[in-house]
Amino acid sequence: MSENSGTKKIVLPGSERKPLGEPAGGLLPNETIDVSVILKPMKLPAISSAGAAHLSRESFAAQHGPDPAAIDKLKQFAASHNLRVIEVSPERRTVKLEGAISDLTKAFEVALDNYSYEGHEYRGRTGGIKIPADLAGSIEAVLGLDNRPQARPQFRIRDVASVTAAARGVSYSPVQVAKLYNFPQDADGTGETIGILELGGGYKPADLTNYFKSIGVKQPSVTAVLVDKAKNRPTNPNSADGEVLLDIEVAGGVAPGANVVVYFAPNTDQGFLDALSTAVHDATHKPSVISISWGQAESGWTAQAMTAFDAAARDAAALGVTICAASGDNGSSDGVNDGANHVDFPASSPHILACGGTRLNGANGNITSETVWNDGAQGGASGGGFSGQFPLPPWQSAAKIKPSAKGGRGVPDVSGDADPQTGYNVLVDGQSLIIGGTSAVAPLWSGLIALLNQKLGKPVGFLQPVLYELPTSTGAFNDITAGSNGAFPAGPGWDAATGLGSPSGQNLLTALSKQVGAPVARHAT
């Protein structure tokens, strides 16, 4: 397949993109970069709901990898454009191509330039990506040509200095939050692995040692996995280190017996997806639950990237891996200033457990009040609403959830304490901070799922269909009925501010034990 062979190219659906900011110039045509080409599976994996049999990582690629013929065609395409194949990962359906920017722009017929936006420079592109017509049915996404920052961490540090003593609220350790939510006290996550995705920042082992000693629990095993040349690079408490330490300390505080594996990747759509697919298919550490506290409004993603990300989340569901993601910290607008409602992605993926936020007050080990987290435009609020990318899934339709006009999948599914005014005591780069945000809820739920997996003796996996079927009489959730996230008020049952509610862990365990003791019906999605 030579460049002059007349091979027809077409635009990859959903790949169109507009640059943000102003051209900055200085693009070096001979600079070497790599791109991830995500291929479609030959056969979609069947998904079983909570506790049912699931595929093994070892058998996944053979059954649900890409067509080998498509890989061969892609290799020929690369050779004809002076590109090198540097990685072929059938289980992740990913082929990485490396080459000079000038060769990649010719291969995919894209216009690239450097841009400046909000104090950052990035390589951006205009328009769609063109691919060979004979590969159109095999390629899901091409990521990496554009390397703008893709996601933001969903955490909020309480500014203690800016409020009066009377308004400072309360704060909790993860252990105290777990007790308020009635998490199983006779489990610690032993035998489970919690994967955490991070797109920046880092942690210092000394912080972990000091923190877990301070809250009176054993220190979990914490391992860093570096994806796409990223680093575990701690700097200062005001950086993304706050996200990294919050995630590790909350998940580890709830499930100190679990192994915690932190997957560091660059903050690009390519890095984010590579981190997720690496964690999902990690046959060494084998996480049974993955926590994601980074995201952005659906309108900030390309459709091809969301499709590929959701496909990786579907793989996780087929493998029995639960993914928890923060629903966002900017209420029903998700920080988009266009007067419309938006939901955050990847939380809006139907194969991901979307985690919203509440304001939690407790005394003597009991919840005294719990409302929607909403501290106003500057203080943050629980993200939630209805997807513009994914249709209403059958398990939400069966629960009689009614999307707003032109809306689909409802977000969030569940919730938990997120208000910085009732936030979490954490240690970041030697500094004690109080942090909230839905970033705290994803690792909180991930820790709970590790406990549930340990108690049930099997992974709960794709949990959403079962959660929506649970009768209210099980008491599995604390129903949040007061407050709103802007456009969406809380009310009895599911709502687009706090989902089904916050967990009552022991009751949820009891309800799930009745489900996983017998075959669970499959739910097509």
Per-residue pLDDT tens digits for 306-323 = 999 999 999 999 999 999
Query: Mean of the pLDDT values across residues 60-83?
Result: 95
**Which range (36-50, 66-80, 418-432, 498-512) has the least confidence?**
36-50
Give yes or no for residue 333 having a pLDDT over 80.
Answer: yes
Compute the distance between CA of residue 242 and CA of residue 314 in angstroms, rounded to an integer: 29
Cα–Cα distance between 373 and 220 in angstroms, integer?
A: 30
pLDDT at 523: 37
Q: Does 460 have pLDDT greater than 70?
A: yes
The whole-angstrom separation of Cα 244 and Cα 261 is 12
Give the chain's mean pLDDT: 93
What was the pLDDT predicted at 45? Answer: 85
Give the pLDDT score at 5: 44
The residue assigned the tokens 């030959």 is 42
Would you put residue 144 in left (φ > 0), alpha (ψ -120 to 50) or beta?
Answer: left
Burial class (CB within 10 angstroms; exposed 0-12, middle 13-18, buried 19+) of 256: buried
Q: Which domains does the chain have, with CATH numbers?
A: 9-143 (no CATH), 154-162+183-516 (3.40.50.200)
Structure tokens at 173: 């350790």
Locate tokens 């009066």: which residue? 164
Burial 228-238 (b: 16+ CB within 10 A, else e): bebebebeebe
pLDDT of 376 strictly over 80: yes
SS (H, E, C) 188-222: CCCCCEEEEEECCCCCCHHHHHHHHHHCCCCCCEE
Report the relative pairing of strands 111-117 and 22-23 from DSSP bridges. Answer: antiparallel
User: For 266-293, what is each residue's pLDDT tens digit?
Assistant: 999 999 999 999 999 999 999 999 999 9
What is the mean pLDDT of the segment spanning 337-351?
96
Residues whose CB falls within 8 Å of the CB of residue 135, separated by 6 or more in sequence, listed in order: 70, 73, 74, 77
- Please say if the pLDDT value at position 61 is more than 90: no
The predicted structure's pLDDT at residue 515: 79
d(CA 20, CA 487): 28
CA distance linking residue 194 with residue 344, whole number of Å: 22
Task: Measure CA 242 to chain center.
Answer: 17
At residue 161 the predicted structure's pLDDT band, cuts being 50, 70 and 90, is low
Closest CA to 261 of 321, 332, 335: 321
Mean pLDDT on 7-28: 93
* Number of residues written out for the chain: 525
Q: Which tens digits make up the pLDDT trace of 92-102? A: 999 999 999 99
Residue 388 has what DSSP assignment? S
Mean pLDDT of 232-243: 95
Active-site residue set: 243, 247, 439
- Report how far residue 295's alpha carbon sits from residue 144's, in angstroms, rounded to the nearest whole number: 17
Measured between alpha carbons, how far is 70 from 90 in angstroms, rounded to an integer?
A: 11
pLDDT band of residue 254 (cuts 50, 70, 90) is: very high
Would you place residue 88 in the very low, low, confident or very high pLDDT band (cuts 50, 70, 90)?
very high
Give pLDDT, residue 154: 80
State the pTM of this model: 0.95
| pLDDT reported for residue 519 | 33
pLDDT in tens, 467-481: 999 999 999 999 999
Q: Positive or negative CA dihedral for 198, 204, 206, 207?
A: negative
Concatenated DSSP letters for 404-436? -TT--SEE-SEEEE--TTEEEEEEETTEEEEEE
- What band does 3 get if pLDDT is binned at 50, 70 and 90? very low
Look at residue 79 and give its three-state secondary structure. helix
Residues 205, 430, 192: CA angle, nearest 5 degrees: 40
Q: Give the C-alpha distances (Å, rounded to integers) separating 506 from 187, 312, 403, 439, 516.
A: 11, 30, 31, 23, 15
pLDDT exceeds 90 at position 59: no
Q: Classify residue 29 as exposed, middle or buried by CB count within 10 Å of its CB (0-12, 13-18, 19+).
A: exposed
Q: How far is CA 127 from CA 16, 124, 292, in A?
A: 5, 10, 29
pLDDT at 521 exceeding the cut of 50? no
Q: How far, in Å, CA of 260 to CA of 255, rounded? A: 9
Q: Out of 168-172, 183-187, 309-313, 314-318, which region has the weakest mean confidence (pLDDT)?
A: 168-172
The reported pLDDT for the residue numbered 406 is 84
182 or 158, higher pLDDT? 182
Residue 303: predicted pLDDT: 98
Mean pLDDT over residues 16-33, rounded?
94
Which of the two residues, 200 and 406, has the higher pLDDT score?
200
In which residue are the tokens 């049912």 written? 52
pLDDT digits (tens, 9 = 90+) for 135-156: 999 999 999 999 999 998 988 8
pLDDT tier for residue 160 given thresholds of 50, 70 and 90: low
Residue range 358-371, pLDDT digits in tens = 999 998 889 999 99
Residue 6 — very low, low, confident or very high, per pLDDT cuts 50/70/90?
low
Residue 123 host element (H or E): strand 120-126
Percent of the chain at pLDDT > 90 equals: 86
3 state SS for 285-326: CCCCEEEECEEEEHHHCCHHHHHHHHHHHHHHHHCCCEEEEE
The three-point CA angle 503-435-327 to 5° equals 50
